[in-house]
Amino acid sequence: MPERVTREQLVEVFGEDAVVRVPDEAIPSDVTHAFTRAFLAETGVPGASEVEFIEFDEGIGDGLTPLRDSILFTGAGWDLPAGFENAYYLGDANGAVPITIALDGASGAVYAISETEDEPYLMNSDIESLVFFAYTLERHRELFSDDYHEQHGGQVDGEDTYERAARIIEEEWRAHDPAPFAVPEGEIMKVWPNVLDDISSAALG
């Protein structure tokens, strides 16, 4: 079991005002996954970051929004995926392809929904892992910045700074939640592996 991210760690990186808790009474009763409820109520999620890849629902502090009531499924013409009638909207991932992030309240698993994919796919094993991945990006953002690259002449210990940053982040991610990297043969790696590609190619710096 990986060491769990704490509220204190999040506050240190994002700031006190940017870490948002969800009161237990504002978490719907059909979110039955006990760890998810406890994490939302006691630890919280980052409401803002400098990297700006993951954007949690700005109203999450007032409660979880049913996925079916989020704007993509009420105003953008997306069809709610089968089996996600009782899922909850957590926020969005801002990449080349927009991603809607959904929570399965029974299992605690976090899914990515994209208009380019036929079905939702696993993004993280649980919300704590999702937050840890966002936290790691923010904590290491200097390592993949253009300023850092220039200050170090492009390399640290003979390794390209962008590729080094991607390696360091990937090692921490895999140790914490390897599920996003367990891709069946013939399938394309999604979301987090693609973020690492962006970091190593200086597209996220």
- The per-residue pLDDT for 122 is 92
- Over the stretch 123-157, which tens digit does the pLDDT of each residue have? 999 999 999 999 999 999 999 999 999 999 999 99
- The per-residue pLDDT for 204 is 82
Q: Give the span between the Cα atoms of 59 and 41, in whole angstroms.
A: 14
- Over the stretch 68-116, which tens digit does the pLDDT of each residue have? 998 777 776 778 888 999 999 999 998 777 889 999 999 999 999 987 7
- The per-residue pLDDT for 74 is 79
- The per-residue pLDDT for 187 is 61
Task: Please state, in angstroms and as integers, the Cα–Cα distance from residue 140 to each residue in 66, 167, 169, following that order.
Answer: 32, 11, 8
Q: Which amino acid is at 54?
A: I
Backbone phi, psi, residue 117, to 5°? -115, 145
pLDDT at 175 over 90: yes
| Local confidence band at 118 (pLDDT 50, 70, 90 cut-offs) | confident
Task: Please state, in angstroms and as integers, the Cα–Cα distance from residue 80 to each residue in 6, 85, 117, 124, following that order.
Answer: 33, 7, 13, 20
Q: Give the span between the Cα atoms of 205 and 193, in whole angstroms.
A: 16
Quick one: tokens of 80?
A: 């709610």
- Mean model confidence pLDDT for the chain: 90
Residues in CB range of 120: below 8 A, 6 or more apart = 81, 84, 102, 111, 112, 113
Q: Are 67 and 80 in contact (CB under 8 A)?
A: yes
Quick one: tokens of 152?
A: 């170090």
